[in-house]
Structure 1
Amino acid sequence: MDWDKLRIFHAVADAGSLTHAGDKLNLSQSAVSRQVRALEEALNATLFHRHARGLILTEQGELLFDATKSMTKRLDAASARIRDSEEEVFGELRVTTTFGFGSLWLAPRLPKLYEKYPDLKVDLMLEERVLDLPMREADVAIRMKEPSQADLIRKRLMSVRMCLFASRDYLDREGTPDDISDIADHRLICQSPSSAQVAAGASLVQHLMTFNIRSSLTVNNYFGVLQGVIHNLGIGVLPDYVTEDFPDLVRVMPEIESADVPVFLAYPEELRHSQRIAAFRDFVQDEIISHRKQLRQLGKI
């Protein structure tokens, strides 16, 4: 099917007039009319009802117009992605990361990204499932382990450790444990053993559970664990990056922590030149530098 004819048909259907479509396409009315008639002949179908007030699509015309609208949208999207690789940062950016990192670290920092790039549309997908970047389930990922998928550009951002935290009010009321065996006298708040989580965090929780914990609260994500801790329910297992944004939390038994959890940023090779990806990557890296600087000032690293 001739794309030029389809393009002219789409303009006519959208405008409802041969004259208005011709003005938009910089073609004469007669040239537009010839192309539409040629398309009707090629399809052996009438695409428009013609009357004094303009043109109305027939049933066959409606079917074709639906198809050309879809094609036009896809072409516009492709054009935007091409421009995006060379010009300003705009359009949709689909970011996937874990619920904990996304809700506790990334989301609170996004205002800075939007302040710099107000036309960006971030679709933040928080889930433990690893989305398939080469199959374009997302544009960029921040993961708590090195990605194993092929055809990905990956960069290690930082390391995270799971530590023990409590609120000042809770410790004033219940006392501060001095030794790991003292954890048995406190309520432990942690991720559910059955929930998806990093192996280092799960290992730490398993170790703590061997001390006959008298009471516990398990949640399937770190945001819920944090809520339990700040509401004075007990001692929680949380990633160490919460110390910057929640300064009232107290690190309990600093010698008790998980092994390092590597944090990686990854995106498909085909998006190597995308300005949206570059803008997000640079933003995350700048925020991590700022995060480390803040922790040094607090004397926590």
Structure 2
Amino acid sequence: MDWDKLRIFHAVADAGSLTHAGDKLNLSQSAVSRQVRGLEEALNATLFHRHARGLILTEQGELLFDATTAMSKRLDTASARIRDSEEEVFGELRVTTTTGFGTLWLAPRLPKLYEQYPDLKVDLMLEERVLDLPMREADVAIRMKEPSQADLIRKKLMTVRMCLYATPDYLAGSGTPQELEDLRDHRLICQNTGSDQVGAGMSLVQHLMTYEVRSLLTVNNYFGVLQGVLHDLGIGVLPDYVQQEFPDLVQVLPETESADVPVFLAYPAELRHSKRIAAFRDFVQEEIVMYRKQLRAKQNP
């Protein structure tokens, strides 16, 4: 099968348009159309339904697009491994983690990584959905539970707990709860129990709701919860690492906290020799060590 025709077919299927694919490939629309027609003739199959608004893959086209997508990802992996055979750390590193951890813990520490490796290009993908690392949706992941995907190298980094926090100004104006029953007189800020979040956090929120909390603000990630807390809207359920970046926050009802939430770093086994992965892994581990030291120093002044 003609590799060049497959490459052009993949670009057309991805763009949904001959014109857009041609722009991406620096080819004329007629040249792209000829290549697609030639592929259809070679396969004796119609790959696209053509209509005024663009192109839609047929069933046969979907099958071929799945195959070219897998090929493309494998080629990306091979390319990454070839680049990683060099001694220097450079190029794109796609890191996926949750919105809360990425914005509140990882992003503030990234300047140190760039100081060490100025040619590194980090693509930080923040979402609760678990991306498929073996299929190269990302290069490395930091997740709040042990990854279950096969063919991954994984390392437990630390544990966190979900706790209750508020600002001094909020507590000065609304009072400090002394027991869980007092929460009914406050606004609770938390993730909605229907949104993607760590199981321990959800369990804590469900437990707090049994105390007839009258006023509630729910957000779909911990960064939003933090913003509500910082603007004196109420008492928020947040991971304990936020207090290091926001030391003025006051932990409310310190005996009320979630079970331990494990934090894992994972990457595909085939990238075990990647210098970009190694640089990021070592950086995160060093930051974890420093974080633990600072935490111990605060707990035992």
TM-score tier after normalising by the smaller chain length: 0.7 to 0.9
- Distance verdict in 2 for CA 1:143–1:297, change over 3 Å: same
SS state of the match for residue 166, structure 2? strand
- Distance verdict in 2 for CA 1:247–1:300, change over 3 Å: farther
Amino acid at match of 1:226: L
SS state of the match for residue 298, structure 1? helix
Q: CA deviation at 1:83?
A: 3.5
Distance across 2 between alignment mates of 1:182 and 1:76: 55
Contact 1:94 1:124 in 2 (8 A): yes
Name the counterpart of 2:260.
260
> 5+ residue gaps in structure 2?
5-27, 36-73
RMSD: 2.6
Amino acid at match of 2:117: Y
Task: Give the 5 Å matches for 1:129-168.
Answer: 129-168=129-168
Contact 2:184 2:214 in 1 (8 A): yes
Amino acid at match of 2:260: D
Distance across 1 between alignment mates of 2:134 and 2:79: 20
- Distance verdict in 2 for CA 1:215–1:268, change over 3 Å: same
Distance across 2 between alignment mates of 1:278 and 1:290: 18
Name the counterpart of 2:106.
106
Amino acid at match of 1:89: V
SS state of the match for residue 296, structure 2? helix
Amino acid at match of 1:140: V
Distance across 2 between alignment mates of 1:81 and 1:120: 15
Name the counterpart of 1:46.
none
Name the counterpart of 1:124.
124
Percent sequence identity over matched residues? 77
Distance across 1 between alignment mates of 2:126 and 2:142: 10
Question: Is 1:272 the equivalent of 2:275?
Answer: no
Name the counterpart of 1:33.
none
SS state of the match for residue 150, structure 2? coil
Amino acid at match of 2:219: V
Identify which range, 170-179 or 79-88, moves more after superposition: 79-88
Question: Is 1:231 the equivalent of 2:225?
Answer: no
Cα deviation 1:151-207 (Å, max 9, x = unaligned): 000000000100000000001111111111111111100001111001100010011
Distance across 1 between alignment mates of 2:100 and 2:120: 23
Contact 2:96 2:141 in 1 (8 A): yes
Distance across 1 between alignment mates of 2:89 and 2:246: 32
SS state of the match for residue 201, structure 1? helix
So what's the TM-score if we normalise by structure 2?
A: 0.74
Task: Give the 5 Å matches for 1:55-70.
Answer: none
Q: CA deviation at 1:77?
A: 8.8
So what's the TM-score if we normalise by structure 1?
A: 0.74
SS state of the match for residue 254, structure 2? coil
Amino acid at match of 1:280: F
SS state of the match for residue 154, structure 1? strand
SS state of the match for residue 255, structure 1? strand
Q: CA deviation at 1:86?
A: 3.9
Contact 1:86 1:274 in 2 (8 A): no
Q: May I ask how many residue pairs the two structures share in their alignment? A: 239
Q: CA deviation at 1:138?
A: 0.5
- Distance verdict in 2 for CA 1:185–1:80, change over 3 Å: closer
- Distance verdict in 2 for CA 1:215–1:151, change over 3 Å: same
SS state of the match for residue 252, structure 1? strand
Task: Give the 5 Å matches for 1:76-87.
Answer: 78=78, 81-87=81-87
Q: CA deviation at 1:124?
A: 0.6
Contact 1:165 1:236 in 2 (8 A): yes
Task: Give the 5 Å matches for 1:6-17.
Answer: none
